[in-house]
Chains A and B, each alone.
Chain A
Amino acid sequence: MAVIALKDVKKSFGSVNVIGNVNLSIGDGEFVIFVGPSGSGKSTLLRLIAGLEDATGGEIVIDGTDVTHMGPAERALSMVFQSYALYPTKTVRQNMSFGLEVARLPRAEIDRRVNAAAQVLKLDQLMDRKPRALSGGQRQRVAIGRAIVREPVAFLFDEPLSNLDAALRVEMRIEIAKLHQRLKATMIYVTHDQVEAMTLADKIVVLDHGDIQQVGTPMELYEHPANLFVAQFIGSPKMNVVEAAPADGGIAITGGGTLAHANPSRALVKVGARPEDISLVPAGEGQLQGTVDVVERLGSDTYAYVAVDNVGVVIVRIVGNAAAIAVGQTAGLSLDADRVHLFDASGKTIR
Chain B
Amino acid sequence: MTVVGKTGLSPRFRRNRLLLTVVLAIYFVYTFMPIWYVITASTKTNPDLFTSFGLWFASDFHLWQNLSDLFTIQNGIFRNWLWNTFYYAVISAVGSALFATLAGYAFAKYDFVGKKFVFALVLGAVMIPQTALVIPIFLLLSKVGLLNTPWAVILPQLVFPPGVFLMRAYVDEAISSELIEAGRMDGAGEFHIFSSLAFRLLMPGFTTVLILAFVASWNNYFLPLVVLNSTEHFPVTVGLAQWYASAVSGSGGQLLFTVVMAGALVSILPVIIAFLIMQRFWQGGLGAGGVKA
Q: Which residues of A are at the interface with B, using a C-beta cutoff of 8 A?
A: 50-52, 71-73, 77-79, 81-89, 98-99, 102-103, 130-134, 136, 139, 146, 150, 163
Contact = CB atoms under 8 A, between A and B. Distances in A.
A72 B184 contact: yes
A50 to B, nearest CB: 7
A81 B285 CA distance: 21
Interface of B: 176, 178-179, 181-188, 192, 197, 200-201, 285-293
B187 to A, nearest CB: 3
Contacts of A50: 185
Contacts, number: 91
A92 to B, nearest CB: 11
A85 B178 contact: yes
Given A88-B201, A89-B201, A82 B289 contact: no
B291 A86 contact: yes
A87 B185 contact: no
B200 A85 contact: no
Contacts of B186: 73, 98-99, 102, 146, 150
A98 B181 contact: no
Contact of B185 (A77, A82, A132, A163): A77
B182 A81 contact: yes
A56 to B, nearest CB: 15
Contacts of B287: 88
A133 to B, nearest CB: 7
B182 A132 contact: no
A31 B185 CA distance: 20
13 contacts: A72-B187, A73-B185, A79-B182, A86-B182, A86-B289, A87-B182, A88-B287, A99-B185, A131-B288, A131-B289, A132-B288, A134-B289, A146-B182
A73 B187 contact: yes
B176 A133 contact: no
A98 B201 contact: no
Contacts of B291: 83-86, 88
A131 B185 contact: no
Nearest to A89: B200
Nearest to B178: A85
Nearest to B289: A132
Nearest to A87: B197
Contacts of A77: 185
**Complex A-B, nearest 7 residue pairs according to Cβ-Cβ distance, in ascending order:** A132-B289, A88-B290, A99-B186, A73-B187, A131-B289, A85-B178, A85-B182
A72 B178 CA distance: 13
A85 B179 contact: yes
B181 A52 contact: yes
A87 B192 contact: no
A139 B184 contact: no
Contacts of B185: 50, 52, 72-73, 77-79, 99
A98 B291 CA distance: 17
A98 B188 contact: yes
B261 to A, nearest CB: 46
A85 B178 CA distance: 6
A208 to B, nearest CB: 25
B290 A84 contact: yes
Contact of B178 (A71, A81, A98, A134): A81
B292 A163 contact: yes
Of residues A79, A82, A88, which shows the largest number of chain B Cβ atoms within 10 Å of its Cβ? A88
Given A83-B291, A150-B186, 7 more contacts: A84-B290, A85-B178, A85-B181, A86-B182, A88-B287, A98-B188, A130-B289
Contacts of A99: 185-188
Contacts of A83: 176, 178, 291-293
A98 B197 CA distance: 10
B179 A87 contact: yes
A303 to B, nearest CB: 33
